[in-house]
Structure 1
Amino acid sequence: MSSSDILRISTQYTLYNAYAVLSLGILGNIINILVFLRIKLFRGNRSVFFLIVESFSNVGYEIVSLILTILTSVYGDDGTGRSDPWCKIKFMLAQVFLLITYFMIGCASADQFFSTHSYFNRQQCCTMKLARYSAFIISFIWLIHSIAFALFFNVEPSVGCVISNTNALRYATFFFYPVIAGFLPMIIAALFSLFAFRNVRRIVRRQVPIVRRRLDRQMTAMVFTRVIFFICLIFPYSFYRIYAINHPTSRTQPLPYAIAQLIQAIFLSLVRINSGVNFYIFVLTSSQFRRQVKFVLVKKCWKQIKRTLAGVNNQTAPNQTEYEESHRESDKNA
C-alpha cells in the first residue's frame, strides 16, 4: 500500500468519524444540559453542576473539532500546518476545553465522594458556592495556561504545527502530558469514584431519605461509569502525544508520514468519543436517567414547542382575517 493510499484512508477515517461522533456528541451534550437544568431533583446538586460545566466544555471542543473537520473536507487539511496564528489558536482552544472536561470529571467524582460520606461534617464541607468558585478557578487557570503554552507552537515546513522551544518540549514530555493531561485527572477521578462507590453501598445502613438515597445511587453509578470510559479513552492518547511531540515525522518521508497521520487520526478519534459519549453512558447506566430524559424531551420541550406553534397560528389567523376585512371594506368604498 502506497503512502497516498494510507493518507487517503486517514483523511476518510477522520472525516467520517468526526462528522458522526461530533454530531452525536453535540446532540448528547445539549440533551444533558437540558435534562440537568430542567429537572428539579438535580437543582442544587454539586456533582450535576460539574457535569453541566463538562457538557458545555465538550460542546466547545466539538465545535472547534467540527470547524477543523469542515476545513479538512473543503481544503484537504485544517490549515494548522500553514499558518502560525491558526496553529496556536487551534492548540489553545482544544487544550483549554479538554483540560476543563478532564478536571470537571474529577471534581464530580470528588464531590460525589463527599456527598455520600457517612460523616455529616464531610458532607457539608463542599457547598454549591465552593463548587462554582472551583469551576471558575479551574477554568481560568487552564485558560491562562493554554494561552501561554500555545505561544511555543510554531509551523515547521517539514513537520507542521509543533513545539519549537526546547524547554517547552521538556515540560510537555515530562509534566504536561503525563501529569496534567494524563495521570493527575485520571487518578483523582478514579480514586474518588471508587470511594464514592464504596460509600453508596453502605448508604442503606444510614438514616437517609429515600429520595436522597436514590439520587446518590444514580449519580454515583453515572459518574463511576463516566470515569471508566474517561480513563480508557484518554490514557492511550496521552502516551501517543508524548511520543508524537518528541518524534515528529517529516513530510519528506512519505510512507512514515502517512502512517503517522493514520495513527494520529485513530488516537484523536478516541478524544472525540470521550467528549461526546457522556450522555449515552448515562442513558445506558441509569434507567432513572432514561425516564428523566423522556420526561424533559416529551413532557417539557415538546409541549413547549407545540404551545409556541399554537400561539403563532393563533396570532396568524386574526391577522389574516383583518387583512381580508380591510380588502372587503376597500372594495365597498370603490
Structure 2
Amino acid sequence: MSSSSVSDGILKLATQYSLYTGCVIFSFGVIGNVLNLLVFTQFKQFRTNRCAFYITIESISNLLYQFLTISLTILTSISGDDATGRFFIWCKFKNILAQICGLTTLYIICFSAVDQFFSTNHRFSLRQMCTLKLGRYFAFILICFVIIHSIALGSSFSVQPTLGCVLSNYVAVQYSTYFFYPVLIGVLPVVIASSFSILAYHNVRRIVRRQLPIVRRKLDKQITAMVLMRVIAFVFLLLPFITYRIYTINFPVSRSVPMTFAIGKLVQAILTSIYTINYVINFYLFIIFSSRFRRQAKVVLVKKCWQRWKYWCCSINNQIEPANIPETRNSQIESEENI
C-alpha cells in the first residue's frame, strides 16, 4: 500500500471523526446550554446571583461556539475540509469568532471562581465589594476587550497555498507563541480559576460559622461546588489543545508532506473535539454532581416551562382553567424554589 493511499485514508478518517463527533457535540451542546439558560434565568434564587449571571453569559457564548463548530463540520462533510484554506474572508472570520467565544468562556469561568471566593469570604467588606451591577460592568468590559483583541489577532490570519489558513504576520506568530496561547488562554485562566475555586471551596467549609440564612448557605455551597467541578473539567480539557496549538503555530506542516499532514489533521481533530467539550459540559456536570441543581432543574423544566406550555396549549383549545389554579401553581413553585 502506497504512502499516498495511507495518508488519504487518514485524512478520510479525520474527516469522518470530525463529522460524527461534531454532530454529537453540537447536539449535546445546544441542549445543555439551552437548559442552562432556562434554569439560571427562570429559577428565582439564581436571578440575583452573580455567579449564575456569569454562567448565563458562558452558556450564550457556548451556544455561539457550537453553531460555529457545526458550520465547520458541515463544510468538512461537504468538501472534505472546513474551507478556511480556500476562502480569505472565512479564514479570518472563523478565527475571530472562535477567539471571541473561546476567550469569553474561559474568562467568564474565571469570573465565576473569583466571584465565589468573594461571596463566600468571611470578611463582610469583601462580600459587599462584589455586586451584580459590578459584575455586569466587568462582563461588559471583558466582552469589549475580547472583541477588539480577537479582531486584531484574527485579522493576521491569511491563506497560504501550501499551509492553508495560518498566521502570516511575524509579530502575531510571536505573540501567539509566547503570550496568547501559553499565557492568555493557558496559564493565566488556569491559575486564576483553579486558585480562586479552591479558595472559595475552603471558605465554604467554614460557612456554617457565619450568621447567614440557611437558604443562602445552601446556595453558596451549591454554587461553589458547581464552579469547582467546572474548573476541574475546564483545566483538563484545555491543556492538551493549548499545547498542540503552540506546537502547530511554530511548526506548521505543509500539504506537500502528505503523511505528516494527514496525521496532523487527525491529531487536530481529536484534540479539537476534546477541547470543544468545554463548551458542552457545564450543564451535565451540574446535573451529575449537584443533587440540589437536579431538583432546581426539575422545578424549572417540569413545574414552570412544561406547565406554561401545557396551559398555553389548553388556552388555544379553549379549555379555560379556573382562575385560582395558576395562582396555586405559582405559590407551589415559589415554595419549591426555596429547596
TM class, shorter-chain normalised?
A: over 0.9
Q: RMSD between aligned alpha carbons?
A: 1.0
Quote the Cα distance in structure 1 between the aligned partners of 2:60 and 2:153.
23
Of residues 170, 176, 193 in structure 1, which corresponds to 2:174? 170
Letter in structure 2 aligned against 1:310 = C
SS at match of 1:124: helix
Quote the Cα distance in structure 1 between the aligned partners of 2:255 and 2:102.
28
Letter in structure 1 aligned against 2:202 = R
Of residues 241, 252, 265 in structure 2, which corresponds to 1:248? 252
Map 1:138-217 to 2 at 5 A. Answer: 138-217=142-221
Quote the Cα distance in structure 2 between the aligned partners of 1:201 and 1:60.
36
Quote the Cα distance in structure 2 between the aligned partners of 1:79 and 1:308.
44
Quote the Cα distance in structure 1 between the aligned partners of 2:305 and 2:213.
30
Of residues 27, 30, 33 in structure 1, which corresponds to 2:34? 30
Task: Determine if the alignment matches structure 1 residue 282 to structure 2 residue 290.
Answer: no
Quote the Cα distance in structure 2 between the aligned partners of 1:75 and 1:258.
16
Task: Determine if the alignment matches structure 1 residue 104 to structure 2 residue 104.
Answer: no
Quote the Cα distance in structure 1 between the aligned partners of 2:29 and 2:295.
20
Match of 1:219 in 2: 223
Letter in structure 2 aligned against 1:11 = T
SS at match of 1:294: helix
Quote the Cα distance in structure 2 between the aligned partners of 1:125 and 1:295.
32
Match of 1:120 in 2: 124
Match of 1:62 in 2: 66
Quote the Cα distance in structure 2 between the aligned partners of 1:80 and 1:313.
50
SS at match of 2:72: helix
Match of 1:51 in 2: 55
SS at match of 2:303: helix
Percent identity, aligned pairs only?
52
Check the 8 A contact 2:58/2:109 in 1, yes or no.
yes
Match of 2:12 in 1: 8
Quote the Cα distance in structure 2 between the aligned partners of 1:86 and 1:4.
25
Match of 1:131 in 2: 135
Check the 8 A contact 1:22/1:272 in 2, yes or no.
no
Task: Determine if the alignment matches structure 1 residue 236 to structure 2 residue 250.
Answer: no
Check the 8 A contact 1:26/1:59 in 2, yes or no.
yes
Which protein has the larger Cα radius of gyration, Structure 1 or Structure 2?
1
Quote the Cα distance in structure 1 between the aligned partners of 2:82 and 2:8.
18
Cα deviation for residue 262 of structure 1 reads 0.3
* Structure 1 stretch displaced more, 215-224 or 201-210: 201-210
SS at match of 2:129: coil
Cα deviation for residue 75 of structure 1 reads 2.0
CA deviation profile, 1:291-318 (whole Å, cap 9, x unmatched): 1111111111111111121222229xxx
CA deviation profile, 1:153-178 (whole Å, cap 9, x unmatched): 00011111000011110000000000
Quote the Cα distance in structure 2 between the aligned partners of 1:307 and 1:208.
38
Cα deviation for residue 124 of structure 1 reads 0.4
Instruction: Give aligned pairs, total.
Output: 315
Quote the Cα distance in structure 1 between the aligned partners of 2:261 and 2:315.
59
Quote the Cα distance in structure 2 between the aligned partners of 1:197 and 1:205.
15
Quote the Cα distance in structure 1 between the aligned partners of 2:58 and 2:247.
28
Quote the Cα distance in structure 1 between the aligned partners of 2:188 and 2:282.
20
Quote the Cα distance in structure 2 between the aligned partners of 1:263 and 1:113.
37
SS at match of 1:207: coil
